[in-house]
């Protein structure tokens, strides 16, 4: 038997991909980070993100065309929630206000969450699509993974690596098939 649920809950059943945090810098050099639940691969070297067009992060992406997509681990749930709980335009330097531990991305030099599983330095690929629909095609320039989590021979994460987060609703997440 199946149960028919409200069709507006379809996104909760069909998770779009792992939760990600996106890091940018404003035209005034203010670092910013946000959490996004709708992400997936589009091409082998292109990520697809769906972002609110009015967010500070979106404005920064439109301005600089460069940003970093971070793949947080299960134990970074609090930081992901913190980044999603306030708007940068309301508080200024959100990373400082929320005491987010950061390091610089290797090529772009943007502040990114320390200790994440991986991060992707990206450039905006389709400005018109982003402007009109909030769909951010993110051309990967570089991808970095934690040394101890990657198997070079198999070209994938090692068995037992820290699990990714998937947003369910509110402050509820799923990781490895379990609610966290």
| Separation of alpha carbons 118 and 19, rounded Å | 12
**What pLDDT score does 115 carry?**
92
Phi, psi of 145 (to 5 degrees): -125, 155
Please give the domain boundaries of the chain with CATH numbers for all domains. Answer: 7-179 (2.30.110.10)
**What pLDDT score does 179 carry?**
75
Q: What is the per-residue burial (b if ≥16 Cβ within 10 Å, else e) of 109-125?
A: ebbbbebbbbbbbbebb
**What pLDDT score does 38 carry?**
85
Query: Can you give the pLDDT of all 180 residues of the chain as single tens digits?
Result: 877 877 887 666 665 678 899 999 999 999 999 999 888 888 989 999 999 999 999 999 999 999 999 999 888 989 998 998 888 788 889 899 899 999 999 999 999 999 998 999 999 999 999 999 999 999 999 999 988 888 888 888 887 676 777 677 777 776 777 777
**What pLDDT score does 78 carry?**
92
């Amino acid at each position: 038997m199946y149960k028919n649920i409200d069709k507006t809950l379809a996104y909760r059943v069909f998770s779009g991909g792992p939760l990600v945090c996106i890091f940018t810098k404003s035209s005034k050099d203010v670092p910013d980070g946000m959490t996004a639940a709708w992400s997936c691969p589009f091409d082998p070297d292109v990520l697809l993100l769906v972002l609110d067009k009015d967010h500070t992060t979106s404005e920064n992406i439109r301005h600089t065309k460069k940003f970093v997509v971070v793949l947080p681990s299960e134990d970074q749930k609090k930081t992901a929630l913190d980044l999603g709980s306030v708007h940068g335009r309301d508080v200024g330097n959100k990373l400082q206000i929320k005491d987010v531990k950061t390091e610089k991305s290797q090529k772009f030099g943007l502040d990114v969450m320390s200790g994440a599983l991986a991060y992707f330095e990206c450039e905006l690929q389709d400005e018109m699509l982003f402007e009109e629909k909030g769909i951010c095609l993110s051309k990967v320039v570089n991808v970095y993974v934690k040394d101890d989590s990657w198997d070079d021979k198999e070209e994938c994460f090692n068995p037992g690596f820290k699990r990714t987060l998937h947003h369910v609703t509110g402050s509820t997440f799923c990781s490895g098939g379990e609610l966290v």
